[in-house]
């Protein structure tokens, strides 16, 4: 079966010599299409490094990354095009452009890719995230949670093979966070969108089909059908987990 994301032997080292930091060692992961995966682990365990590598923003030292059945290009220019067309990104640093409306922000990845922008696409996507009436609003006129929902709509606009989200609810109050998580859950269920979300929050992780745990740059465990209680318990025992011997291969819930 072709996976939405297939990563093997992913290793990443920062720096060189005695001060080198091995941020990822031999990480492997396979994700089924339409699956929603939470990536968790202690601070410094390699979560951001993993996301940056698989999203083509950083180049790993070793390993292969296949997205939607196609290898992530190693050439910088080709990787940029691949990322624009095949990968959705909702990262902290990638804020909305303040002088563009919500609708224009959503359309931006398609415009940058030089593609035709279907007339009602931005409105439809904003409706999908509950903001159908804010097409013409500037980011400054929206709440933090609403801005995050626009960022998700923008991440979905190219119908990417995988949507990567880094702490998408980190800065939100619990009501807005639930709203955003419900939208991610709905994108997986209704649109068949494959999602990988980094989070520190067991409640957020429980919205996913499965949780993959990282510790010291290695896969340290996997949990299907997570509950907040089970995730929290696992997090407190992460250092005692035996590293997973097989490559975690996730399936969609109930699949």
* Residues contributing to the site for ligand ATP (CB under 6 A): 14-15, 21, 23, 41, 43-49
Residues with Cβ within 8 Å of residue 116, at least 6 apart in sequence: 110
Name the residue nearer to ligand ATP (CB basis): 65 or 131: 65
Cβ 167 to ligand ATP, closest distance in Å? Answer: 8
CA distances to 19, 61, 200, 214, 216 from 43, rounded to whole Å, are 19, 21, 9, 10, 9
Name the residue nearer to ligand ATP (CB basis): 47 or 149: 47
Cβ 22 to ligand ATP, closest distance in Å? Answer: 8
d(CA 74, CA 58): 10
Cβ 58 to ligand ATP, closest distance in Å? Answer: 8
Opening angle at CA 89, ends 84 and 94, nearest 5: 100
Cβ 91 to ligand ATP, closest distance in Å? Answer: 12
CA distances to 106, 117, 161, 226 from 121, rounded to whole Å, are 9, 7, 18, 34
Name the residue nearer to ligand ATP (CB basis): 21 or 255: 21
d(CA 83, CA 229): 35
Name the residue nearer to ligand ATP (CB basis): 47 or 123: 47
Contact criterion met (CB below 8 Å) for 45 and 217:
yes
Cβ 154 to ligand ATP, closest distance in Å? Answer: 23
Name the residue nearer to ligand ATP (CB basis): 48 or 148: 48
Cβ 220 to ligand ATP, closest distance in Å? Answer: 12
Name the residue nearer to ligand ATP (CB basis): 14 or 99: 14
């Amino acid at each position: 079966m072709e996976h939405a994301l297939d990563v093997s032997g992913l290793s990443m080292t920062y720096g060189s010599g005695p001060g080198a930091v091995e941020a990822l060692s031999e990480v492997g992961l396979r994700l089924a299409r339409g699956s929603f995966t939470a990536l968790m682990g202690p601070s410094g365990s390699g979560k951001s490094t993993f996301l940056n590598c698989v999203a083509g923003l950083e180049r790993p030292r070793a390993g292969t990354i296949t997205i939607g059945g196609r290898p992530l290009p190693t050439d910088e220019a080709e990787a940029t095009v691949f990322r624009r067309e095949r990968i959705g990104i909702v990262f902290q640093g990638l804020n909305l452009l303040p002088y563009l409306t919500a609708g224009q922000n959503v359309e931006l990845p398609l415009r940058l890719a030089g593609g035709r922008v279907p007339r009602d696409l931005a409105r439809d996507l904003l409706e999908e995230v509950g903001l159908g009436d804010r097409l013409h609003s500037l980011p400054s006129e929206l709440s933090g949670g609403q801005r995050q929902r626009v960022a998700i709509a923008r991440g979905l606009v190219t119908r990417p093979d995988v949507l990567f989200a880094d702490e998408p609810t980190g800065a939100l109050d619990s009501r807005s966070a639930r709203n955003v998580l419900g939208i991610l859950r709905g994108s997986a269920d209704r649109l068949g969108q494959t999602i990988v979300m980094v989070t520190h929050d067991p409640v957020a992780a429980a919205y996913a089909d499965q949780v993959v745990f990282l510790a010291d740059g290695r896969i340290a465990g996997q949990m299907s059908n997570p509950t907040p209680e089970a995730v929290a318990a696992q997090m407190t025992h992460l250092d005692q987990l035996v590293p997973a011997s097989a490559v975690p291969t996730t399936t969609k819930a109930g699949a």
